[in-house]
Structure 1
Amino acid sequence: MTLQDFFQSVSSNPALLTVLLLSIPALAFLVNLWSGEQAAEIWRWRFVYATLVYLACIPGIFAVTLNIYLFLFERQSIWQMNLITQVLPVITMVATLMLIKRKLPFAYIPGFGKLSGFMTLITAVIGILWFIDRTRIYAVTYIPFAYIAMGFVGVLLLIRFAWSKLF
Protein backbone atom coordinates (compact mmCIF):
# COMPACT_ATOMS: atom_id res chain seq x y z
CA MET A 1 0.00 0.00 0.00
CA THR A 2 1.40 3.36 -0.97
CA LEU A 3 0.80 6.65 0.77
CA GLN A 4 -1.47 7.70 -2.08
CA ASP A 5 -3.51 4.49 -1.66
CA PHE A 6 -3.83 5.20 2.07
CA PHE A 7 -5.05 8.75 1.45
CA GLN A 8 -7.55 7.55 -1.14
CA SER A 9 -8.83 4.95 1.31
CA VAL A 10 -9.23 7.55 4.04
CA SER A 11 -10.87 9.96 1.60
CA SER A 12 -13.43 7.35 0.59
CA ASN A 13 -14.28 6.64 4.28
CA PRO A 14 -13.53 9.87 6.17
CA ALA A 15 -15.78 9.27 9.18
CA LEU A 16 -13.26 7.35 11.30
CA LEU A 17 -10.41 9.83 10.78
CA THR A 18 -12.75 12.76 11.38
CA VAL A 19 -13.97 11.31 14.67
CA LEU A 20 -10.41 10.50 15.78
CA LEU A 21 -9.08 13.94 14.94
CA LEU A 22 -12.01 15.81 16.49
CA SER A 23 -11.83 13.73 19.67
CA ILE A 24 -8.33 15.03 20.52
CA PRO A 25 -9.33 18.67 21.17
CA ALA A 26 -12.49 17.41 22.86
CA LEU A 27 -10.35 15.33 25.22
CA ALA A 28 -8.12 18.35 25.85
CA PHE A 29 -11.20 20.38 26.76
CA LEU A 30 -12.41 17.65 29.14
CA VAL A 31 -8.97 17.30 30.75
CA ASN A 32 -8.95 21.08 31.27
CA LEU A 33 -12.25 20.74 33.13
CA TRP A 34 -11.16 17.74 35.22
CA SER A 35 -7.66 18.90 36.11
CA GLY A 36 -8.79 21.57 38.55
CA GLU A 37 -7.41 25.05 39.14
CA GLN A 38 -4.62 24.48 41.65
CA ALA A 39 -1.05 24.18 40.41
CA ALA A 40 -0.45 20.87 42.19
CA GLU A 41 -3.44 19.27 40.51
CA ILE A 42 -2.50 20.58 37.07
CA TRP A 43 1.09 19.36 37.56
CA ARG A 44 -0.18 15.79 38.00
CA TRP A 45 -1.93 15.96 34.65
CA ARG A 46 1.17 16.97 32.65
CA PHE A 47 1.72 13.51 31.18
CA VAL A 48 -1.89 13.38 30.01
CA TYR A 49 -1.33 16.76 28.38
CA ALA A 50 1.90 15.46 26.83
CA THR A 51 0.00 12.52 25.34
CA LEU A 52 -2.62 14.86 23.91
CA VAL A 53 0.08 17.13 22.47
CA TYR A 54 1.74 14.21 20.71
CA LEU A 55 -1.59 12.83 19.48
CA ALA A 56 -2.37 16.21 17.95
CA CYS A 57 1.08 17.27 16.76
CA ILE A 58 2.25 14.14 14.96
CA PRO A 59 -0.59 14.15 12.38
CA GLY A 60 -0.55 17.96 12.33
CA ILE A 61 3.16 18.20 11.60
CA PHE A 62 2.82 15.49 8.97
CA ALA A 63 -0.07 17.38 7.32
CA VAL A 64 1.86 20.67 7.33
CA THR A 65 4.91 18.96 5.83
CA LEU A 66 2.76 17.22 3.23
CA ASN A 67 1.05 20.49 2.31
CA ILE A 68 4.36 22.30 1.93
CA TYR A 69 5.69 19.47 -0.23
CA LEU A 70 2.58 19.36 -2.41
CA PHE A 71 2.45 23.12 -2.94
CA LEU A 72 6.19 23.76 -3.43
CA PHE A 73 7.36 20.65 -5.26
CA GLU A 74 4.28 19.05 -6.81
CA ARG A 75 2.58 22.40 -7.51
CA GLN A 76 -0.81 21.20 -6.30
CA SER A 77 -3.60 23.73 -6.57
CA ILE A 78 -5.22 24.89 -3.36
CA TRP A 79 -8.57 23.91 -4.89
CA GLN A 80 -7.49 20.25 -4.87
CA MET A 81 -6.77 20.13 -1.12
CA ASN A 82 -8.33 17.25 0.74
CA LEU A 83 -9.97 18.80 3.80
CA ILE A 84 -9.88 15.61 5.88
CA THR A 85 -6.23 14.66 5.36
CA GLN A 86 -4.62 18.04 4.71
CA VAL A 87 -6.58 20.62 6.73
CA LEU A 88 -8.30 18.84 9.63
CA PRO A 89 -5.05 17.57 11.25
CA VAL A 90 -3.66 21.12 11.26
CA ILE A 91 -6.87 22.52 12.77
CA THR A 92 -6.82 19.73 15.37
CA MET A 93 -3.21 20.52 16.27
CA VAL A 94 -3.83 24.25 16.62
CA ALA A 95 -7.04 23.81 18.64
CA THR A 96 -5.47 21.26 20.97
CA LEU A 97 -2.38 23.38 21.57
CA MET A 98 -4.53 26.45 22.25
CA LEU A 99 -6.67 24.56 24.77
CA ILE A 100 -3.63 23.13 26.55
CA LYS A 101 -1.81 26.47 26.57
CA ARG A 102 -4.70 27.98 28.57
CA LYS A 103 -4.10 25.53 31.39
CA LEU A 104 -0.42 24.63 31.37
CA PRO A 105 2.67 26.33 29.88
CA PHE A 106 4.40 24.26 27.22
CA ALA A 107 7.64 24.36 29.23
CA TYR A 108 6.05 21.97 31.74
CA ILE A 109 4.96 19.43 29.14
CA PRO A 110 7.54 16.62 28.88
CA GLY A 111 9.11 16.37 25.43
CA PHE A 112 7.54 19.49 23.94
CA GLY A 113 10.97 20.92 23.13
CA LYS A 114 11.70 17.86 21.01
CA LEU A 115 8.63 18.57 18.88
CA SER A 116 9.71 22.15 18.22
CA GLY A 117 13.22 20.91 17.35
CA PHE A 118 11.71 18.35 15.00
CA MET A 119 9.62 21.05 13.28
CA THR A 120 12.72 23.23 12.95
CA LEU A 121 14.62 20.37 11.34
CA ILE A 122 11.80 19.63 8.90
CA THR A 123 11.50 23.30 8.00
CA ALA A 124 15.23 23.62 7.44
CA VAL A 125 15.42 20.50 5.28
CA ILE A 126 12.44 21.54 3.15
CA GLY A 127 13.88 25.05 2.78
CA ILE A 128 17.26 23.75 1.69
CA LEU A 129 15.71 21.26 -0.72
CA TRP A 130 13.46 23.97 -2.17
CA PHE A 131 16.49 26.23 -2.64
CA ILE A 132 18.40 23.44 -4.39
CA ASP A 133 15.36 22.65 -6.55
CA ARG A 134 14.92 26.30 -7.61
CA THR A 135 18.58 26.96 -8.35
CA ARG A 136 18.99 23.71 -10.27
CA ILE A 137 22.18 22.82 -8.38
CA TYR A 138 22.54 19.09 -8.60
CA ALA A 139 25.32 16.53 -8.24
CA VAL A 140 27.55 17.97 -10.97
CA THR A 141 30.37 19.40 -8.87
CA TYR A 142 34.02 18.86 -8.05
CA ILE A 143 33.44 19.23 -4.31
CA PRO A 144 33.66 15.91 -2.43
CA PHE A 145 30.37 14.66 -1.00
CA ALA A 146 31.76 14.74 2.57
CA TYR A 147 32.15 18.54 2.33
CA ILE A 148 28.61 18.91 1.01
CA ALA A 149 27.27 16.76 3.87
CA MET A 150 29.24 18.79 6.44
CA GLY A 151 27.92 22.01 4.91
CA PHE A 152 24.36 20.67 5.08
CA VAL A 153 24.76 19.75 8.76
CA GLY A 154 26.36 23.14 9.42
CA VAL A 155 23.42 24.95 7.83
CA LEU A 156 21.00 22.85 9.89
CA LEU A 157 22.87 23.70 13.10
CA LEU A 158 22.93 27.37 12.15
CA ILE A 159 19.17 27.36 11.49
CA ARG A 160 18.55 25.53 14.78
CA PHE A 161 20.68 28.06 16.70
CA ALA A 162 18.98 31.02 15.00
CA TRP A 163 15.53 29.52 15.66
CA SER A 164 16.29 29.04 19.38
CA LYS A 165 17.53 32.64 19.66
CA LEU A 166 14.54 33.95 17.76
CA PHE A 167 11.98 32.17 19.90
Structure 2
Amino acid sequence: MTLFDFFQFITAHAGVAVLFWVAVPAVTFLVNLWSGTTAEEIWRWRYVYAVLVYTAAIPGVFAVTLNIYLFLFERQSIWTMNLALQVLPILTMVGTLMLIRQKIPFGYVPGFGKLSGFLTLIAALIGLMWFFDRLRLVAFTYVPFVYIVVGFVGVLVLIRFAWSKMF
Protein backbone atom coordinates (compact mmCIF):
# COMPACT_ATOMS: atom_id res chain seq x y z
CA MET A 1 0.00 0.00 0.00
CA THR A 2 1.39 3.37 -0.98
CA LEU A 3 0.79 6.67 0.77
CA PHE A 4 -1.50 7.66 -2.09
CA ASP A 5 -3.56 4.47 -1.58
CA PHE A 6 -3.79 5.20 2.13
CA PHE A 7 -4.99 8.75 1.45
CA GLN A 8 -7.57 7.46 -1.01
CA PHE A 9 -8.81 4.97 1.59
CA ILE A 10 -9.14 7.70 4.23
CA THR A 11 -10.88 9.97 1.74
CA ALA A 12 -13.36 7.19 0.94
CA HIS A 13 -13.99 6.65 4.66
CA ALA A 14 -13.82 10.28 5.78
CA GLY A 15 -16.36 9.78 8.56
CA VAL A 16 -13.94 7.65 10.57
CA ALA A 17 -11.17 10.22 10.13
CA VAL A 18 -13.43 13.09 11.16
CA LEU A 19 -14.59 11.10 14.19
CA PHE A 20 -10.97 10.57 15.23
CA TRP A 21 -10.06 14.25 14.73
CA VAL A 22 -13.04 15.32 16.87
CA ALA A 23 -12.48 12.62 19.52
CA VAL A 24 -8.93 13.68 20.43
CA PRO A 25 -9.84 17.20 21.68
CA ALA A 26 -13.03 15.81 23.25
CA VAL A 27 -11.01 13.26 25.25
CA THR A 28 -8.58 16.03 26.20
CA PHE A 29 -11.49 18.14 27.46
CA LEU A 30 -12.75 15.20 29.54
CA VAL A 31 -9.28 14.52 30.96
CA ASN A 32 -9.07 18.20 31.92
CA LEU A 33 -12.33 17.80 33.83
CA TRP A 34 -11.30 14.55 35.55
CA SER A 35 -7.72 15.45 36.40
CA GLY A 36 -8.63 17.68 39.32
CA THR A 37 -7.39 21.08 40.31
CA THR A 38 -4.48 20.52 42.68
CA ALA A 39 -0.93 20.15 41.45
CA GLU A 40 -0.63 16.59 42.80
CA GLU A 41 -3.78 15.45 40.99
CA ILE A 42 -2.67 17.03 37.70
CA TRP A 43 0.84 15.56 38.11
CA ARG A 44 -0.62 12.04 38.22
CA TRP A 45 -2.22 12.61 34.80
CA ARG A 46 0.97 13.80 33.04
CA TYR A 47 1.45 10.54 31.10
CA VAL A 48 -2.14 10.68 29.86
CA TYR A 49 -1.42 14.21 28.69
CA ALA A 50 1.75 12.94 26.96
CA VAL A 51 -0.29 10.35 25.05
CA LEU A 52 -2.80 13.04 24.06
CA VAL A 53 -0.04 15.41 22.94
CA TYR A 54 1.55 12.77 20.74
CA THR A 55 -1.82 11.54 19.43
CA ALA A 56 -2.60 15.07 18.26
CA ALA A 57 0.87 16.32 17.35
CA ILE A 58 2.22 13.50 15.18
CA PRO A 59 -0.63 13.63 12.60
CA GLY A 60 -0.75 17.42 12.91
CA VAL A 61 2.95 17.82 12.20
CA PHE A 62 2.64 15.38 9.32
CA ALA A 63 -0.26 17.41 7.91
CA VAL A 64 1.72 20.65 8.22
CA THR A 65 4.75 19.18 6.46
CA LEU A 66 2.51 17.58 3.83
CA ASN A 67 0.84 20.94 3.16
CA ILE A 68 4.18 22.71 2.93
CA TYR A 69 5.44 20.07 0.53
CA LEU A 70 2.29 20.13 -1.62
CA PHE A 71 2.13 23.93 -1.82
CA LEU A 72 5.85 24.69 -2.22
CA PHE A 73 7.08 21.77 -4.28
CA GLU A 74 4.04 20.26 -6.01
CA ARG A 75 2.25 23.61 -6.53
CA GLN A 76 -1.11 22.24 -5.34
CA SER A 77 -4.01 24.64 -5.50
CA ILE A 78 -5.73 25.54 -2.26
CA TRP A 79 -9.04 24.60 -3.90
CA THR A 80 -8.03 20.94 -4.11
CA MET A 81 -7.16 20.54 -0.42
CA ASN A 82 -8.47 17.43 1.31
CA LEU A 83 -10.06 18.75 4.49
CA ALA A 84 -9.99 15.42 6.34
CA LEU A 85 -6.27 14.95 5.72
CA GLN A 86 -4.81 18.43 5.36
CA VAL A 87 -6.85 20.73 7.61
CA LEU A 88 -8.54 18.75 10.40
CA PRO A 89 -5.31 17.24 11.81
CA ILE A 90 -3.85 20.73 12.18
CA LEU A 91 -6.99 22.07 13.85
CA THR A 92 -7.06 19.03 16.13
CA MET A 93 -3.42 19.55 17.08
CA VAL A 94 -3.91 23.23 17.84
CA GLY A 95 -7.12 22.65 19.81
CA THR A 96 -5.69 19.77 21.82
CA LEU A 97 -2.48 21.62 22.64
CA MET A 98 -4.47 24.68 23.71
CA LEU A 99 -6.65 22.58 26.01
CA ILE A 100 -3.62 20.85 27.52
CA ARG A 101 -1.78 24.15 27.95
CA GLN A 102 -4.67 25.48 30.04
CA LYS A 103 -4.22 22.63 32.53
CA ILE A 104 -0.52 21.75 32.63
CA PRO A 105 2.68 23.45 31.39
CA PHE A 106 4.31 21.64 28.49
CA GLY A 107 7.53 21.33 30.49
CA TYR A 108 5.79 18.79 32.72
CA VAL A 109 4.60 16.65 29.81
CA PRO A 110 7.10 13.79 29.38
CA GLY A 111 8.90 13.87 26.04
CA PHE A 112 7.57 17.24 24.90
CA GLY A 113 11.12 18.60 24.50
CA LYS A 114 11.91 15.82 22.04
CA LEU A 115 8.82 16.74 20.04
CA SER A 116 9.90 20.37 19.76
CA GLY A 117 13.38 19.24 18.69
CA PHE A 118 11.80 17.03 16.04
CA LEU A 119 9.75 19.99 14.78
CA THR A 120 12.91 22.07 14.57
CA LEU A 121 14.63 19.38 12.55
CA ILE A 122 11.68 19.07 10.16
CA ALA A 123 11.52 22.86 9.70
CA ALA A 124 15.25 23.03 8.99
CA LEU A 125 15.02 20.13 6.56
CA ILE A 126 12.11 21.67 4.65
CA GLY A 127 13.86 25.03 4.54
CA LEU A 128 17.01 23.43 3.22
CA MET A 129 15.10 21.44 0.62
CA TRP A 130 13.21 24.56 -0.51
CA PHE A 131 16.48 26.48 -0.80
CA PHE A 132 18.04 23.80 -2.99
CA ASP A 133 14.86 23.54 -5.06
CA ARG A 134 14.90 27.29 -5.76
CA LEU A 135 18.63 27.31 -6.44
CA ARG A 136 18.15 25.27 -9.63
CA LEU A 137 21.66 23.94 -9.27
CA VAL A 138 22.65 21.19 -11.66
CA ALA A 139 25.96 19.50 -11.00
CA PHE A 140 27.69 16.73 -12.82
CA THR A 141 30.17 15.23 -10.43
CA TYR A 142 32.04 12.05 -9.72
CA VAL A 143 31.55 12.38 -5.97
CA PRO A 144 30.00 9.19 -4.55
CA PHE A 145 26.43 9.51 -3.32
CA VAL A 146 27.48 8.39 0.18
CA TYR A 147 29.54 11.58 0.58
CA ILE A 148 26.56 13.70 -0.40
CA VAL A 149 24.35 11.95 2.18
CA VAL A 150 27.00 12.34 4.88
CA GLY A 151 27.32 16.04 4.03
CA PHE A 152 23.53 16.46 4.17
CA VAL A 153 23.33 14.77 7.58
CA GLY A 154 26.24 16.91 8.75
CA VAL A 155 24.39 20.07 7.74
CA LEU A 156 21.30 18.88 9.63
CA VAL A 157 23.36 18.18 12.77
CA LEU A 158 24.94 21.62 12.45
CA ILE A 159 21.51 23.26 12.13
CA ARG A 160 20.23 21.33 15.17
CA PHE A 161 23.30 22.30 17.20
CA ALA A 162 23.03 25.96 16.21
CA TRP A 163 19.31 25.99 16.98
CA SER A 164 19.87 24.54 20.46
CA LYS A 165 22.58 27.14 21.16
CA MET A 166 20.34 30.01 20.00
CA PHE A 167 17.32 28.94 22.00
Q: TM-score, normalised by structure 2?
A: 0.90
Mapped to 1, the partners of 2:112 and 2:154 lie a distance apart of 24
Q: Which 10-residue stretch deviates more, 156-165 or 13-22?
A: 156-165
Q: Which amino acid aligns with 2:62?
A: F
Offset from partner CA, 1:31-53 (integer Å, 9 cap, x none):
11111111111000000000000
Residue number in structure 2 paired with 1:155: 155
1:156 deviation in Å? 1.8
Aligned residues: 167
1:143 deviation in Å? 5.7
Mapped to 2, the partners of 1:70 and 1:8 lie a distance apart of 16
Q: Contact 1:132–1:138 (CA<8 Å) still a contact in 2? A: no
1:164 deviation in Å? 3.1
Mapped to 2, the partners of 1:94 and 1:164 lie a distance apart of 24
Q: Which amino acid aligns with 1:131?
A: F
Residue number in structure 2 paired with 1:83: 83
What are the residue-to-residue correspondences of 1:2-17 with 2, within 5 Å?
2-17=2-17
Q: Contact 1:61–1:90 (CA<8 Å) still a contact in 2? A: yes
Q: Which amino acid aligns with 1:17?
A: A
Q: Which 10-residue stretch deviates more, 115-124 or 57-66?
A: 115-124
Residue number in structure 1 paired with 2:112: 112
What are the residue-to-residue correspondences of 1:25-36 with 2, within 5 Å?
25-36=25-36
Q: Which amino acid aligns with 2:81?
A: M
Q: Percent identity?
A: 68
Mapped to 2, the partners of 1:6 and 1:88 lie a distance apart of 17
Q: Which amino acid aligns with 2:156?
A: L
Mapped to 2, the partners of 1:31 and 1:165 lie a distance apart of 36
Where 1:74 maps in the other structure, the secondary structure is coil
Q: Which amino acid aligns with 2:74?
A: E
Structure 2: state its 5+ residue gaps: none
CA-atom RMSD, angstroms?
Answer: 1.8
Distance 1:146 1:7, change over 3 A: closer
Residue number in structure 1 paired with 2:103: 103
Mapped to 1, the partners of 2:6 and 2:111 lie a distance apart of 29
Structure 1: state its 5+ residue gaps: none
Where 1:36 maps in the other structure, the secondary structure is coil
Residue number in structure 2 paired with 1:39: 39
1:3 deviation in Å? 1.3
Q: TM-score, normalised by structure 1?
A: 0.90
Mapped to 2, the partners of 1:166 and 1:28 lie a distance apart of 33
Where 1:98 maps in the other structure, the secondary structure is helix
Q: Which amino acid aligns with 1:12?
A: A
Mapped to 2, the partners of 1:166 and 1:37 lie a distance apart of 36
